[in-house]
Structure 1
C-alpha cells in the first residue's frame, strides 16, 4: 500500500510512516531525541541537527506527486532496452569496418576503443534499467505490486542482482538510514573500530595516508564493491558469530532477512541462475566476443555506476550518522545528499542522483515526479537540505580521502557522529 493510499492527508500518512518504523523496533522516537544539537563537520563548519518531523515533510508534498503510471514506467523500460539494442546494432554494423589506411595496429586500437565506447554506452542504459528495477522494489513503478515484482525480478536478474534479496535489505536501509547499528549499507567505522582495523592490517596501517593507497581502495570499491556486498554483506551490519557466506544476500536463512522471506530469496537465486543460463546460451550462439562486448563489460559498468552513485549519496564530509539515542527517521533521511550528474543523471539515470534526499523521505514517489516533490520538501528542510554541484569524480576522491571513520568528538552532541580521517584533511579527530 502506498503512502497516498494509506491516507488522503499528509498528516495521516506521516503517522503511518512513523508507526511502520516503530514496529521495526529500531527508532529513537521524537520524545527521546535531543533537540537543538550542534556539532562540527569534517570541514570545520557548524552542523545543526534537524528537528523537524516527517509529518512536516509529508504535508509539504503535493498529492499528485504520488501518482504512478504503469504505461509511463513501462515506456522507460522499453526506451532503455531499445537504446541498448540500437547501440549494439550500430556498433556491430560500423566498428568492424573502421580502419586507418596503412596502419594496421592503429586500426586495431581504433576498433578496440570503439568497442569499449559501445560497451560503456550500453552500460549507461543498463544502469538506467537497474534504477527502474529499484523503483519496482519500492513500489514506485506502478500501482500493481505483482507487476512491479515481476518486472523488477526480470531486470535485476539480468543484471545479476537478486531482486527480492535486494528489495528486503534495501527497505531496511530506508527505515534506518544514518543509524549506526540498524542501517544496512555503507556503515562507517567508528574511531575505535578503525583503530582496531589498523592494528590488524599492518599494510593498511603503513600505506593508508598515501594517495596511492586511496586510489587502490577506490578501484577495488568501484569494480568489486557491489558483488562483495551481495556475497558477504560487506559494508553492512556485522552479525557477530556468522560466516560471510551465511549472511550473504544469496542465503535464504541469512540474518539480513526475516524468516517469512525465505522462499523469496530462493526465487531471487533462481533468477540469477536463469540469467547465467541465458548468458551461457548467448556465448554458445553468438560467441565469446559478442557476449563480452554486449553484456559482460556493460555489466561491469553497471556495477561501477551503482557503487559510485550509492556511495556518494551516503558519504560526504558534511554528513552525520547517529547512535540510537539521537536517531529519528527524519534525521536519518536528511543524512543523504543530492548531487548533479548532468544530462546522464537526469535523462539516463532517471534522476536517482539529483533527487535522492526526497527518495529517502518517500520512496514510493516515481522518479518523474521527484523533482517537483524535492522542491516542496526543500522549503521544510531549509539549511538541512544537502546538495553538492561539483564534479562527482572530484567528490569521490574527496570522500575516499576524508571520510574514513566517524566520531562524536563534540561533547555538546554525543551520539551525533561526523566523519574524520587520519590524512590531515579538515578537523582532526580527538585523541
Structure 2
C-alpha cells in the first residue's frame, strides 16, 4: 500500500462493532472508522456509479421553488430575530457599570444565534456554487453571489477552490482546505525533536491549553486565514508547482493568485471588488450610525457564521482513524468515502443537515440538500454492511475536543497517513533528562 503512517486503533479486546464504526469500551466510548486501507482484508471500494444506483432518481431533481422557499425561510427567521433583538437590546453602552455585563451577554447571545441562523443562507449559497439550487447555473450564481458576498465570502473564488476540495478530498498534496500539515511543517525534527512552531508551542502551553488554542484558532481566525492563503490550503499551485518552493501565497482575493487559472480571473476580480464594496458600505454605515452598532449587528454574527462553517469542514474530514492519501494511493472514491456524518441536533434544522448528510454531499454535490436525507439512508444501507460508511455518534462538541487534542500532523505527504497528536511526542526536557 506504499509508505504511510500507522493507524491508531483501540485494542480488540476493548472494542465492539457497530456497523461501520468501532466503539472503545474503556472509560469513554471512542468512535473509529472501520475502513482501513492498510489492512490485508480491506474491502474493494464500489464505484461512484454503483453507489448512485441505490439512490432514487428523484433525489437528484433540483427545484428552484423549494430552494428559494428554504432561503426565504432562513432570511425570514433572521429578520424576525433581528426585530425581536431590537426590542429588548440597545446598541448604546450602559452608563451604569452594573449593567454592562448583562448587556454584553445579551449581545453575545444575539451574535451566536444570529450567526447560527445566517449559516443557513450561507449553506444555500454554497449549494448554488455546486449547481444544486436550480437547473440554471446562471440563476444559481446570481443567488449564490448575492448571499455569499453579503457575508463577505468571495463567491467565485471560493466556488472554484471548494470544487477542488470535492475533486481531491483527503489528498495530502493536492487537496484543498483542511489539508494536514506534516511533522516538519509543525516544527518536528527527523527524530521527533521539538524544534519550533506548533511543536514548541504545544510543549510550552501543555495539552489542555493547546487544545483550547486549536479550537479557538480553527473557529475564530481559521476562515479569514484560509481565505488569505495563510492556513489549510493545498500545497500545489494551479499549474502543479509547489507553493513552498517559491514562497507563494494562494489567497482567494488576487486574480493572479496561483490557485486560479487565467480563464476565471475576471470572476475573481468581481468577487474581490464586491468584497471591498461591502466593507466600504459597512464603514459608511458606521460613520452614520456609529461603529459600535455595526459591530454588534453585523460583525458579531459574522464571527459565528465563520465558526460554524469551519466547524463543519473540520469535523467532517478529521479523525485519528480517517486516512489521508498521497498521490500514489489516492482515488476519488477513497477521498469521498473518507468523510464523516455526525448528528448536530437542533442545528441540523438551521443548517440544512449539511453535517449529518456530508458523505452523500461529497459523493453527489449536485444533489439538493432537501433530498440528501433520503439519499443518505440508501447509501448507508449499501455501504454500512461493507464497513464503508462513516457515522460518528459522538456529540459534536466532544468530537471537536477530541480532534483538537489528537489531530495535529501527519508524518509525510506520501502513502497512507493518519493524524498524530503532539501529546505523544516526547517533551524536550524529558529527552534531555534521559540523555543526561
Whether the TM-score (by the shorter chain) exceeds 0.5 is: yes
Match 2:352 to one of 350, 355, 373? 350
Corresponding residue SS for 2:354: coil
Q: Which runs of 5+ in 2 are unaligned?
A: 12-31, 38-42, 236-242, 426-436
Corresponding residue SS for 1:252: coil
Alpha-carbon spacing, 1:255–1:351, altered in 2? closer, same or farther (3 Å): same
Tell me the CA shift for residue 173 of structure 1. 0.9
Q: Which residue of 1 aligns with 2:291?
A: 288
Alpha-carbon spacing, 1:399–1:72, altered in 2? closer, same or farther (3 Å): same
Contact 2:233 2:250 in 1 (8 A): no
Q: Which residue of 2 aligns with 1:125?
A: 117
Corresponding residue SS for 1:326: coil
Matched, 1:367 2:364: no
1:15-414, aligned counterparts within 5 Å? Answer: 40-41=7-8, 43=10, 47-49=35-37, 51-96=45-90, 105-194=97-186, 195-196=188-189, 198-201=194-197, 203-204=200-201, 206-207=203-204, 209-238=206-235, 239-243=243-247, 246-345=249-348, 347-382=349-384, 383-407=387-411
Corresponding residue SS for 1:405: coil
Corresponding residue SS for 2:244: coil
Tell me the CA shift for residue 397 of structure 1. 1.0
Tell me the CA shift for residue 38 of structure 1. 12
Corresponding residue SS for 2:286: helix
Per the normalisation by structure 1, the TM-score is 0.82
* Whole-angstrom distance in 2 between the partners of 1:47 and 1:344: 28
Tell me the CA shift for residue 86 of structure 1. 1.4
Corresponding residue SS for 2:410: strand
Tell me the CA shift for residue 233 of structure 1. 4.7
* Whole-angstrom distance in 1 between the partners of 2:142 and 2:182: 39
Tell me the CA shift for residue 386 of structure 1. 0.7
* Whole-angstrom distance in 2 between the partners of 1:165 and 1:349: 22
* Whole-angstrom distance in 2 between the partners of 1:280 and 1:190: 40
Which whole-Å deviations, capped at 9, do the CAs of 1:313-366 have from their partners, x for residues lacking one? 111122111112221111100111011110112x10111110001110000101
Which whole-Å deviations, capped at 9, do the CAs of 1:210-245 have from their partners, x for residues lacking one? 21122123212211100001002511123124445x
Contact 2:5 2:410 in 1 (8 A): no
Tell me the CA shift for residue 61 of structure 1. 1.4
Contact 2:202 2:210 in 1 (8 A): no
* Whole-angstrom distance in 1 between the partners of 2:140 and 2:64: 9
Contact 1:138 1:364 in 2 (8 A): yes
Tell me the CA shift for residue 53 of structure 1. 1.7
* Whole-angstrom distance in 2 between the partners of 1:193 and 1:218: 19
Q: Which runs of 5+ in 1 are unaligned?
A: 1-32, 98-102, 409-413, 426-431
Matched, 1:417 2:414: no
Contact 1:139 1:145 in 2 (8 A): yes
Tell me the CA shift for residue 96 of structure 1. 4.3
Per the normalisation by structure 2, the TM-score is 0.81
- Pairwise CA RMSD: 2.7
